[in-house]
Each structure stands twice: as C-alpha cells, then as structure tokens.
Amino acid sequence: MKRILISFQLVKCINRNQLAYVRVRSRAGFETERRGSHPYIDFRIFHSNSEIEVSVSARNVRRLLSFQRYLRSSRFFRGITVPNSSNILDDDYNGQAKCMLEKVGNWNFDIFLFDRLTNGNSLVSLTFHLFNLHGLIEHFQLDTMKLRRFLVMVQEDYHSQNPYHNAVHAADVTQAMHCYLKEPKLSKSLTPWDVLLSLIAAATHDLDHPGVNQPFLIKTNHYLATLYKNTSVLENHHWRSAVGLLRESGLFAHMSLENRQLMESQIGDLILATDISQQNEYLSMFRSHLDRGDLCLENANHRHFILQMALKCADICNPCRTWELSKQWSEKVTEEFFHQGDIEKKYHLGVSPLCDRQTETIANIQIGFMTYLVEPLFGEWARFSNTRLSQTMLGHLGLNKASWKGVQREQSGSGDDVDPAFEEMDSDILPQEPRLS
C-alpha cells in the first residue's frame, strides 16, 4: 500500500473511514504498528528542505555503512578472515569505539562521542554488545544476523531529524539501563529473561517518535490518537512498533508462541511505564513498597515492577549525568519543544506548555523538571538501591540544578523562579511525551 501523505491543513478532515488505510499486521490477536507510520501528517513540513536533503543523505550513508558492517560481520561469523581495510581512519575510529565499549558500565559514558565513533550507529553497536556481554545470544540461541538486522531496523525507525527523541537517546537510555541492571540488588536476582526484556524495551521505548507530544497528536486529530483513544498514545505506538519489528526480524521465531506472546506483553508493560503522565501513580506504588519493606525480588512480579521503575529512571536520567552531557541533552530536548511550539503558532493550534520559545527558557524548564519529576523519582530509587551509583546520580542532579539556577539568576536576576507550567500541571494535563528523557 502506498504511503498516504496529506497536507497539514487537511489534518482535521480525517474521519473514521480513513482509518481503513492504516495497514497493521495481526497475529495471535495482537495488532502491531507498521514501519513508517503517521500517514496523515507529512512530518517533513517540520523541517526545511535543506534539513530534509541532509537527513536523506545522512541516512543513505548510514545504510551504506551498515551494509559494509554487515558484510564484515557476516564474514567474521562464517570464519572468513577480513582483509585489512585501506581506510585507516575508519579502522581507527572502530578501535576507539571498541575501547569505549569496554567501559560501557561507567556512568560517565559519553554517548555523543560513541555515536560519532560508530558513524551514527550507536544504538546498533551498543545494544549488540550488551546482548553479548550479558550472554543473551548464547542463552537464547539467537541468530546473530537476525539480531543485527532487528537492531538496524530499530535504529532506522527512529527519526534522525528529531533533536532529542532519536536513536542516540535510545542508545543513552539503553546504556543507563545496563548500569542499573548491574546494581547489586538487581544483578543477583534478575534472570536472563528479565535482562532480555529490559534491553529490548530500553532500545525501543521511543521507537518511531514523531518529535511532537501527545496533546499535539490529539488536537490535530492524528489517527494514532484515535486508535489509542487519547491514552498513552505514543507509548502504545512505540510498543506495537517494537513488536512489529520483532516479528518482522524473526529474531525469536524459534521460541514457542506462548513465550513470544509473553515477551511482547511484558515489553509493553515496560514501555508503557515511561508515560510521564503516570509518574505519580508509579512513584506512589514504589514509595509504598519501600515504606512497607515488602519488595521481594524472588517474586517475578516484583522484579518486573522494579524493571519498570528502572526504565523510568533511565528514560529521564539526563539531569543525573555530568554537566557536560546533561547540558547537551537539555538543549536538545528544549529545541524539540520549541520546534513543536513554532508549528503550533504557525497553524494557530495553541502553544503547548513548555513549547513557547518566547516565554520559556532552558533554565526554567530544567529546574522545574528536576524539582517535580527527577528528584522525587531518583530519591526513591536511592532508597531502594543505596549504592555509589545512586549517590553519584543524586550528586550530579544537585550540581546541575545549581548550575541552571545560576544561569537563571543571570537571566532574570532571581534564583527562586520555577517554571509555572510545572506547578500548574496535574496528571491529566502533564504532557506525556515532551519527556525530557
């Protein structure tokens, strides 16, 4: 079926009959989103022609590089010696990337540098390495070619035009998840199944993110908002897109249908937990468990809940990184917010909270974000896992908040302002997907 694209001005004319054009694949009663969704809004209008040309060019280069890597890895897996490349620089960069992977469990891991060293293939390289590091390939008897194909499809289904919600963010979240899986309480309790679900969910948690939030999709009558009844719209789409790629790749085709269905369902539970509008609900449950001291990681349900909390932490851990890394993420996510606000202004849609570049600043947004979302979550995580990593994250969080307050004082002459958008938001109106994650 040819992809259907209509102009932004006609979005509000979408009706139920047009949903028939949404091509989904169904098996065992579960519908998955197809690759390259969003047929009713041409998201290319969000970018200038030069940006589109650069994006297409970069994507073609990445695909060529992916194919080259496929050939080399294919020869390696067949036991064929790979001749020395004449491209010394490329080999040198690959060597540096391998050196970085030796420290993939360090909290100060620089995902931006790693992405450059892997020629924009950070998500594929890092996740494949983690699968191997955790022994998942051997334990689950995975076909390495199918695994690589799955990861390449996942990486390509992230939108490189998004300043924030792109494959580099997914790689960053996956690396953070790996750090949490190494924590003593978890490492001694988790099964290979738990680790497998965690890494897949982390790598795919924002799959095919359009760079706009749920309120935007709702007020433009996007078909996804209708499909998921305005509830966890993007998270549902990320999950079902992930399931679609898992099935398309055949990565787990050798497993029983029952195990595949269980995997798809539990991956969904993890991804849906990243819905920021459900933050208070999850935090309340977490706090109650900690107050009662009744978490038992020998219980599969309790382990799954902790993995949900771990993914939530990984998703919004940017303020807990070093200032150099955190500041970059802050700038990227704010630019994505402002980009949405520009579109909303252009088409008279009403600017969403945090998205107006004329009234908001990075400092105000970050201070509010840290105060109302990050600090409460990571405070409880430190209660659960009081380790050096937890204290390091809280230390960075405090320093980064102080740094943004310094910037705020320079801009406004007062250090006590907190973005009123955060104070006014409750669980019903808190944007679900301008997650600063």
Binding positions are 165-169, 205-206, 315, 366
Structure tokens of 236?
Answer: 């549902």
Q: How far apart are CA 234 and CA 430, in angstroms?
A: 14
**Residue 1 CB contacts under 8 Å (≥ 6 apart), including other chains:** 21, 23
- Does residue 129 have an active-site annotation? no
Confirm if 91 and 69 have CB atoms less than 8 A apart.
no
**Residue 50 CB contacts under 8 Å (≥ 6 apart), including other chains:** none
User: Burial letters for 61-97: b for 16+ Cβ neighbours within 10 Å, e otherwise?
Assistant: ebeeebeebeeeeeeeeeeeeeeeeeeeeeeeebeeb
26 has which bridge partners? 31
Catalytically annotated residue among 38, 134, 159, 165: 165
Q: How many residues can be counted in the chain?
A: 437
Q: How far apart are CA 48 and CA 411, in angstroms?
A: 31
32 has which bridge partners? 25
CA 216 to centroid of chain Cα atoms: 19
User: Burial letters for 34-54: b for 16+ Cβ neighbours within 10 Å, e otherwise?
Assistant: beebbbbbebeebbeeeeeee
Q: How far apart are the first and last CA of the chain?
A: 34
Name the burial class of residue 369, with classes exposed (0-12), middle (13-18) and buried (19+) by CB atoms within 10 angstroms of its CB: buried
Name the burial class of residue 274, with classes exposed (0-12), middle (13-18) and buried (19+) by CB atoms within 10 angstroms of its CB: buried
* DSSP single-letter state for residue 35: S
R_g over Cα of the chain: 21
CA 361 to centroid of chain Cα atoms: 24
Provide the annotated binding site for Zn(2+). 169, 205-206, 315
Q: Report, as residue numbers or ranges, the catalytic residues.
A: 165
